[in-house]
Amino acid sequence: MPGSYLNAIGTAVPEHCFSQSQIAEFMASALRFDEADRRRLRALYRSTHIDQRHTVLPDYGRQPRDFEFYANTPDLEPFPTVAQRMAVYRREALPLAVKAANACLSARQAVPAGGDEDEPEDVDLGEITHLITVSCTGMYAPGLDIDLVNALGLPTTVQRTAINFMGCYGAFNGLKAADALVRAFPDARVLVVCVELCTIHFQKRRDDDFLLSNALFADGAAAALVESRPNEAGSSLALRQFFCDLYPDGAPDMAWHVADFGFEMTLSSYIPKLVRQGIGALVERLLDRAGLDREAVSLYAMHPGGKAILEAIEQALSLTPHDNRHAYAVLRRYGNLSSATVLFVLKNLLDELTPADAGRSVLSCAFGPGLTLESAVLEVVNRDLEDFEG
């Protein structure tokens, strides 16, 4: 039966980058906090173990008189509407997605049949057969998918699929769709592009859910290329098995709603507890379907929804922080990028692989509204070490 392989990942972040302490001061001022509340907010931001975050909005590092997006008033009134936020999305999402896609396609270099492996060729854009876009922070029509076709110079006949409003687990649905396409059509070359502009949805509210989400989320894009054969040289990740389940008790604790002044995130402090309760059974059922046991898994690519979620995963699966090092590295450098985040983690892992890692199994998970728990098993393939038979 034909397989599918994740052969390249490219990532991109906006140019504006601010430390957590800078963003905390912006939030404290916007919320008109007194000194006691400011101290509590700074402590919350320190506890995230995030060093910095990227955003398409320069305002988070500026004084009110210099704002470009928010009103130059102490309370940011009049507050930006959904229409104003979607205008930013339409302007900023495409260049970020293009940058990630180009990075992905440049990373995946095809060796000509019978050619010299020292002289690789870039992937021909005309060979991309399917484009899958993933986003939960904005939408418009004609949409990001069509804009990407035009900006990248893809064939106008490329088959397009848009996966929207699924939150942090959206990349899994993109990869599952790519996997199904490649297994059904072995000549398919599927480009999956996730782009999220979370920071355009800052909500000026003091509820704990909003304080927490404002402390975690950031902007970024990631692209992945899925094909029916692994890379000629270097490592690929074979997509071996996916499994998804719902944990309905957590439905009220993680949600994403369109409101008058942006998209509003519900992110309860109970999420880590719910993940800890549900992930063990999820992983067991995933591995059972893959014909593996827990001892067969030695690499991990978990979605870093936050430090508490990573710690909950470690407790439930008896993992160490070192096992979760790729997730912590992404969380520290970028924060939570919603659907794009797990691809950042997989890229971090992929960049570290050597031929000696061939055959190792990777466990990856992400969580989102529902409460949805997504999981996958991937296997490291390296044709420098193994003689691959298609």
* Positions marked catalytic: 168
Can the peptide bond before residue 142 be classed as cis, meaning omega within 30 degrees of 0? yes
Q: How far apart are the first and last CA of the chain?
A: 10
The secondary structure of 325-379 as a DSSP string is HHHHHHHHHH-B-GGGHHHHHHHHHHHH--GGGTT-EEEEEEEETTTEEEEEEEE
Give the separation between CA 222 and CA 152, rounded to whole angstroms: 15
Which residues, at least 6 apart from 164, have a Cβ–Cβ distance to it below 8 Å? Answer: 134, 135, 136, 139
Q: Tell me, what amino acid is at 27?
A: M
Alpha carbon distances (Å) from 2 to 57, 187, 235: 44, 10, 18
- With vertex at residue 251, the alpha carbon angle to CA 245 and CA 253, rounded to the nearest 5 degrees, is 125
Of 183, 178, 195, nearest in space to 128 by CA: 178
CA 113 – CA 99 distance, rounded (Å): 29
**DSSP assignment, residue 286?**
H
Listed in sequence order, the residues at least 6 apart from 295 whose beta carbon sits closer than 8 Å to its beta carbon are none
Q: What does the DSSP assignment read for 56-72?
A: S-GGGGS-GGG-SSS-S
Output the CA–CA distances (angstroms, integers) from residue 319 to 49, 302, 315, in the order listed. Answer: 19, 11, 7
Task: Count Cβ neighbours within 10 Å for each residue of 219-255 and write b for 16 or more, e otherwise.
Answer: bbbbbbbbbbbbbbebbbbbbbbbbbbebeebeebbb
For residue 91, CA distances in Å to 60, 97, 100, 131 come to: 18, 11, 16, 20
Total count of residues recorded for the chain:
390
Give CA separation, 341 vs 35, 167, 337, in Å: 34, 11, 5
Residues in CB range of 28: below 8 A, 6 or more apart: 37, 38, 41, 42
